[in-house]
Structure 1
């Protein structure tokens, strides 16, 4: 059974790629084509077909914005990363893939070491494991993401157990990988990702906003999660594993791994369309005081109404997205969220 939970498919796509940031520690870029001596006609035709295929695909422009607030906590335990161009992290990239982007938010608990480790290392492991071929790409990307989360968890637990005293940190993870116009979201815990899609009303009415969930929450009150924990010898009290841990899947949390807390993410896949406006990735600090629909409507209101101050070099649209991201995080704190709040807002345009 395919682990992907597919969202509604689009009817058309069109657009170009955009670069915002590059990999913080890129591997050497060896993906460029090498010169060949006197290519024959068949090779020229195949290359032309490949370029035509890339153009026809339609690659949306993605730009990421982030806002992080410590709230009333003594320490900022959230971490995040925005890579509008992840190609620089890969030594080779399948020839049919035009663009690779990666955005992720990590909500730490018991300390900030697990979330920071995941933010620093998960995308590098993902780059090393990314498929080198395009046949059955969806299946290969799924395996790549599952392997990457397992490896990241194992690497952190190995480092955590080698410390004296051993680290007991853990972290949620909501990671969005964009391959051309296809979005793959892998998540653990209670951080979330939601998509704003504008759909036409019947009989030629105005377009309405539809909020699509791109992630699935994992907490021990969910039947399947609780059963797994109990089968492994753990207990759930007051909605928490052993009465302590609020999530049932995470990176780290070594002391809970033997009683059913796992690092296997849920995976969802969604093809972007010209009707899509933006994606919100946020930790539970945001969604404790905002429903997914309310968060999307709040962002839309900022985008559609009023003037905003722009940073030097920003377009008016970029200024609105920046303001929407910052105001959403501020509003979460104003509404009484005492937790850390991290918001990543990714604009989508074709």
Structure 2
């Protein structure tokens, strides 16, 4: 929306009396304020129509000497951006990094990948936003990798650390997934079955060992399906859990009828998601995973 599309064209021969100039300025300010309020109202309507996202994380060292995993939870990434493109109301970012050979690569990625993403993020009324975001994610992964390799090679002795990277970027109601390595992102949603009952379906949002999977995405459907949550985890979890088993474990905790102890002003639903995340990571260790285990559970509340 152009805030000045209805204003008269400026002229260089206007010599209105001071009082008239002041009145014109007041009118212009009032009009600008009204336009801004209308813009804010449009964004507010968009924001209220979106599902609410909340992230939960759990990390276990396992039998490793150190924790080499890292993770990032950013339900609202807007503060990292100078401006949001078009009428986008919300941008969220969640990521898991599984380090190997040390923790420096995973920590570097956790500290810098979203900052590089913010720098390269499309701005203004960008056309073909979907295509631009895919390119932005690819460029961000490449830039972060180059930055780390440059820093690692400058050390004496040179760092030999490495890391996987699996992240999801939620732009309003569209989920983008990008990954390097064997950490995974899966989505759980309920759908109507042929018998009229509702069943849980597990969808993979990433492919293992593929270095440039940035196309993977899906639109959250409000008709015919309801997302419950998105799960991101390093390979430590999936050494002892299949994707379906992990989803069913989480659902089992969420659907328990036992009461939960209230704390920190969290709702009962939020407490159940937190418990599911922690119990899933602990169960992976109990099942014999000796690797680091990091789990992020992103609830999608309509």
Residue 80 in 1 paired to residue 31 in 2? no
Ranges in structure 2 where 5+ consecutive residues have no aligned partner: 1-27
| Alignment partner, residue 163 of structure 2 | 171
Gaps of 5+ in 1: 1-35, 219-224, 226-248, 250-263
Give the Cα separation in 1 of the matches to 2:127 and 2:166.
26
Tell me if 1:273 matches 2:264: no
Match for residue 294 of structure 1? 245
Q: 1:38 to 1:297 in 2, by over 3 A?
A: same
Q: Which moved more, 1:300-309 or 1:80-89?
A: 300-309
2:133 matched to which residue of 1? 141
Q: Where does residue 126 of structure 1 map in the other structure?
A: 117
1:104/1:176 contact within 8 Å kept? yes
Number of the residue aligned with 2:179: 187
| Structure 1 residues 211 and 170: CA distance shift in structure 2, 3 A | same
Q: In the alignment, what sits opposite 2:13?
A: none
Whole-Å separation in 2 of the counterparts to 1:325 and 1:53: 31
- Displacement of 1:49 in angstroms is 11
**Which residue of 233, 236, 260 corresponds with 1:308?**
260
User: How do 1:90-129 residues align onto structure 2 when only pairs under 5 Å count?
Assistant: 90-129=81-120
CA shift digits 1:154-191 (9 cap, x unpaired): 00000000000100110000011110011101001000
CA apart distance, 1:134:
3.2
Given the superposition, is the C-alpha separation of residues 49 and 160 from structure 1 closer, same or farther in structure 2, using an over 3 Å criterion?
A: closer
> 2:283 matched to 1:331?
yes
TM-score normalised to the size of structure 2?
A: 0.84
> SS at the partner of 1:286?
helix
Deviations 1:241-264 (A, max 9, x none): xxxxxxxx4xxxxxxxxxxxxxx4
What is the RMSD computed on CA atoms of the aligned residues?
2.3
Q: TM-score, normalised by structure 1?
A: 0.73
* Number of equivalences: 270
Aligned to 1:51, the other structure's residue is in SS state helix
2 CA distance for matches of 1:122 and 1:52? 27
> Where in structure 2 are the equivalents of 1:145-224 lying within 5 Å?
145-204=137-196, 206-218=197-209
SS in 2 for 1:67: strand
- Which digits, 9 at most, give the CA deviation of each residue in 1:112-163, with x for residues without a partner? 0000000000000101110013311100100110110000000000000000
